C-alpha cells in the first residue's frame, strides 16, 4: 500500500522560507516510473499544481511559481522536499504531496496534506 505523508512547520512568517518534506512508503522514489509532485489548495482557490521531481533529481515547476520554489530528493530516505522562498499571506493553504505516473497528470496517491499559515 503506497502512502505519502507531509511534514513541516504549520506557521511561518512573511518573507521567510518554507520547507516541507514528503515521506513515501510502499514505493521507491528512485524508480523511473513516477513523478513525485507537490500540490496546494489555498482558501477559496482551485487546487494548484506546484511542481514535480523525477527519480534522477530533475524537477519541473509551475511557471507561476518557478522563481520561488524548488523540489529536491532526500539524501538517504524515501523522501522528497519542497522549498518555497519569499513567503506571503497568499501562500497560506493546504500543501499536498502526490504521486503520478511519468508523463501523466493523474495523481494516484496523495498525502493527507499539511496546513501552512503565513503570518507574523
Q: Which is nearer to another protein, 53 or 73 (CB)?
A: 53
Angle in degrees, CA 3, 107, 96, rounded to 5: 60
Q: Which is nearer to another protein, 36 or 81 (CB)?
A: 36
Q: Is 93 left (phi over 0), alpha (psi -120 to 50) or beta?
A: left
The answer to whether the beta carbons of residues 49 and 39 sit under 8 Å apart is yes
How many residues of this chain interact with another protein, rule: CB under 8 A?
27
Question: Is 109 one of the binding residues for another protein (CB under 8 A)?
Answer: yes
User: C-beta of 119: minimal distance to another protein in Å?
Assistant: 22
CA atoms within 13 A on the CB side of 96: 17
Which residues, listed in sequence order, are joined to residue 108 by a DSSP beta bridge?
Answer: none
Q: Which is nearer to another protein, 28 or 112 (CB)?
A: 112
Which residues, listed in sequence order, are joined to residue 78 by a DSSP beta bridge?
Answer: none
- By residue count, the chain amounts to 120
Q: Which of residues 17-36 bind another protein (CB under 8 A)?
A: 35
Q: Which of residues 46-85 bind another protein (CB under 8 A)?
A: 46-49, 52, 60, 62-64
Q: Which is nearer to another protein, 40 or 91 (CB)?
A: 40
Residues that bind another protein (CB under 8 A): 4, 35, 37, 39, 45-49, 52, 60, 62-64, 96, 98, 100, 104-113
Amino acid at each position: 500500500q503506497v502512502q505519502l505523508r507531509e511534514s513541516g512547520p504549520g506557521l511561518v512568517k512573511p518573507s521567510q522560507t518554507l520547507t516541507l518534506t514528503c515521506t513515501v512508503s510502499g514505493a521507491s522514489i528512485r524508480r523511473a516510473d513516477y513523478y513525485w509532485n507537490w500540490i496546494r489548495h489555498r482558501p477559496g482557490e482551485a487546487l494548484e499544481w506546484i511542481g514535480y521531481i523525477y527519480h534522477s533529481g530533475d524537477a519541473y515547476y509551475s511557471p507561476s511559481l518557478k522563481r520561488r520554489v524548488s523540489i529536491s530528493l532526500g539524501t538517504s530516505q524515501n523522501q522528497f522536499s519542497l522549498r518555497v522562498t519569499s513567503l506571503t499571506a497568499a501562500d497560506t493553504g493546504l500543501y499536498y504531496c502526490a504521486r503520478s505516473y511519468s508523463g501523466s497528470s493523474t495523481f494516484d496517491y496523495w498525502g493527507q496534506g499539511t496546513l501552512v499559515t503565513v503570518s507574523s
